[in-house]
Amino acid sequence: MKVHISLLFVVCTYLILMIHTTPLDRTQIHDDWRKHSLSEDGIKVLHRAKRGWMWNQFFLLEEYTGSDTQYVGKLYTDHDKGDGNLKYILSGDGAGSVFVIDENTGDIQAVKRLDREEKSIYTLRAKAIDRKTGRQVEPESEFIIKIHDINDNEPKFTQDIYTATVPEMSEVGSSVIQVTAIDADDPSYGNSAKIVYSIIQGQPYFSVDADTGIIKTALPDMSRENREHYQVVIQAKDMGGQMGGLSGTTTVNITLTDVNDNPPRFPQSIYQFMSLESAAVGTAIGRIKANDDDVGKNAEIKYTVIDRDAKDYFEIITDKKTQDGIITVKKLLDFESHGMHTFEVEAANTFEDPRFSHLRSFKDTAIVKITLHDVDEAPIFNRPFYVFEVNEDVKEGSIIGHVSAQDPDSTKSSVKYSIDRNTDLERIFNIHTGNGSLILAKPLDRESTPWQNITIVATETKNPRLSRNVQAYIKILDINDHAPEFAQHYDTFVCENAKPGQPH
């Protein structure tokens, strides 16, 4: 006959259901088994024996907290006459340490608390030996002890804290992030690992999908400018979320990111500045700033001078750090002709969001008034430089040309002329202090110097600090080279047009 390993102890009702039999007690199984084995022939017995192995699994609850040991089941063979002549021996996973067998009765006990999540199946072998002969009365047979799950693990989120962002003004139901909890219990058995997600902080702004853990926006028109940060707490509960299930939570820090839903707006309608008329090109006259509640590129502003006239004189450069508009001189200003500039400026966002640009204008305008202050300016020559041609045989004391400079200020101060002597060390030239006529003081020698280049200075008579220089290039002509048309050309260019006191 065979070793029969029978389920003798009903651990609990659902365990019996698991092994596809109706509840039977120990005696019933034995009786039923004996009847069959005795009345059938050898083959049938073998077949029956195979069917018998349906029970070659023992089931045991993990985390058993009852008495010291937990009864697992009983090994049994027909050779056992109950006279103590047989000895049952157990080997394999945990034999002797986790599972002990009563070698006389075949009763197996678990002597340690078991954790399914650590090890869920133990494979053991059993044999029965005749104590007198030492012979094995049954061939060694393998069976397993399966540890049944209880809900001893709570769902654990993959992260303690999640961080996520979602654009402000997103449509309701926009996905933000998916959170995931894992339950170490047996997912194939019962609901111990069946997780349901719920939101316990963060409503009504956000919701969570109970099955997937996907967090979504739940309110329309959530504005970053209103509130930027949200702390959402999500709970994962096993047992399908039912009462008595174990749960874990996680925190999700959600930040709304900016979209361009706010236009730039000037806080004042008029800006007033003052500038010296002498301000150089590129000089900053003042700053204006339109406010924009958005951030980053959504708050970037471009300023424009709108009036055509003012456009020539001023431009507005954006300070990339502050988004201020710096009003800058583009062309030289003049108090005498244009003492005050009044013009309209525009502030516009560099990047517009088409979702909002139809709702409101992303531009604003303001008026800028710039008052100029008169500056006592140095005299100005009527030409940027002068070229004179002179025959090499011209007599000393002859006038070889004229220069002219005027005070640009309304006071029209008188001007006196001089030669920078560093540029005329040999004192070849003189200049008439009052009218700018250039006079030859020494004979010329073309062979040694074909050009004489000098600097002439015009100074305001009343204010010697205000002076300006000009270059005069004097070409000495060989008498033989003298061509009438040249002389005429330069006469026209310099002498006739450049009358003193006659601005160019």
Ligand X SMILES: *[C@@H]1O[C@H](CO)[C@@H](O)[C@H](O)[C@H]1NC(C)=O
Binding residues for ligand X (CB under 6 A): 402, 432, 435, 437, 451, 453, 473, 500
Instruction: For ligand X, give the closer residue by CB, 244 or 451.
Output: 451
Contact 428, 442 (CB under 8 A): yes
Q: How far is the CB of 260 from ligand X (least distance, A)?
A: 58
Q: How far is the CB of 404 from ligand X (least distance, A)?
A: 8
Contact 75, 88 (CB under 8 A): yes
Q: How far is the CB of 462 from ligand X (least distance, A)?
A: 21
> Tokens representing 194?
């069946």
Compute the distance between CA of residue 471 and CA of residue 387 in angstroms, rounded to an integer: 9
Instruction: For ligand X, give the closer residue by CB, 366 or 415.
Output: 415
Q: How far is the CB of 393 from ligand X (least distance, A)?
A: 20
48-54 long-range contacts (CB < 8 A, ≥24 apart) are 49/2, 49/4, 52/2, 52/4, 52/5, 52/6, 53/5, 54/19, 54/20, 54/21
Instruction: For ligand X, give the closer residue by CB, 289 or 402.
Output: 402
Q: How far is the CB of 326 from ligand X (least distance, A)?
A: 40
Instruction: For ligand X, give the closer residue by CB, 433 or 488.
Output: 433
Instruction: For ligand X, give the closer residue by CB, 56 or 471.
Output: 471
Going by C-alpha positions, the residue among 91, 87, 102, 107 that lies closest to residue 143 is 91
> Tokens representing 427?
């004192």
- Coil vs helix vs strand at 340: strand
Going by C-alpha positions, the residue among 215, 6, 236 that lies closest to residue 126 is 6
Instruction: For ligand X, give the closer residue by CB, 214 or 439.
Output: 439
Compute the distance between CA of residue 330 and CA of residue 324 in angstroms, rounded to an integer: 18
Q: How far is the CB of 461 from ligand X (least distance, A)?
A: 16
Going by C-alpha positions, the residue among 127, 126, 119, 125 that lies closest to residue 146 is 119
445-454 long-range contacts (CB < 8 A, ≥24 apart) are 445/392, 445/476, 446/392, 446/476, 446/477, 446/478, 449/476, 450/475, 450/476, 451/475, 451/476, 452/424, 452/428, 452/476, 453/423, 454/419, 454/420, 454/423, 454/424, 454/429
Q: How far is the CB of 398 from ligand X (least distance, A)?
A: 10
Q: How far is the CB of 424 from ligand X (least distance, A)?
A: 11
Q: How far is the CB of 377 from ligand X (least distance, A)?
A: 24
Cis peptide before 204 (omega within 30 of 0): yes
- Quick one: how far is CA 30 from the chain centroid? 73
Instruction: For ligand X, give the closer residue by CB, 56 or 435.
Output: 435
Instruction: For ligand X, give the closer residue by CB, 348 or 428.
Output: 428
Instruction: For ligand X, give the closer residue by CB, 329 or 400.
Output: 400
Residue 75 amino acid letter: L
Instruction: For ligand X, give the closer residue by CB, 139 or 397.
Output: 397
CA dihedral 180, 184, 190, 196 (to 10 degrees): -20
Q: How far is the CB of 409 from ligand X (least distance, A)?
A: 23
> Tokens representing 89?
């021996």
Q: How far is the CB of 337 from ligand X (least distance, A)?
A: 28
Contacts of 383 (CB under 8 A, 6+ apart): 403, 470, 498, 504
Instruction: For ligand X, give the closer residue by CB, 240 or 500.
Output: 500
Compute the distance between CA of residue 468 and CA of residue 478 in angstroms, rounded to an integer: 32
DSSP H helical ranges for 19-98: 26-39, 42-52
Residue 305 amino acid letter: V
Going by C-alpha positions, the residue among 452, 441, 428 that lies closest to residue 397 is 441
Instruction: For ligand X, give the closer residue by CB, 167 or 500.
Output: 500
Q: How far is the CB of 437 from ligand X (least distance, A)?
A: 4
Q: How far is the CB of 363 from ligand X (least distance, A)?
A: 52
| Torsion over CA: 74, 79, 85, 87 (sign) | negative
- Coil vs helix vs strand at 31: helix
Instruction: For ligand X, give the closer residue by CB, 155 or 401.
Output: 401
Going by C-alpha positions, the residue among 38, 28, 29 that lies closest to residue 56 is 29
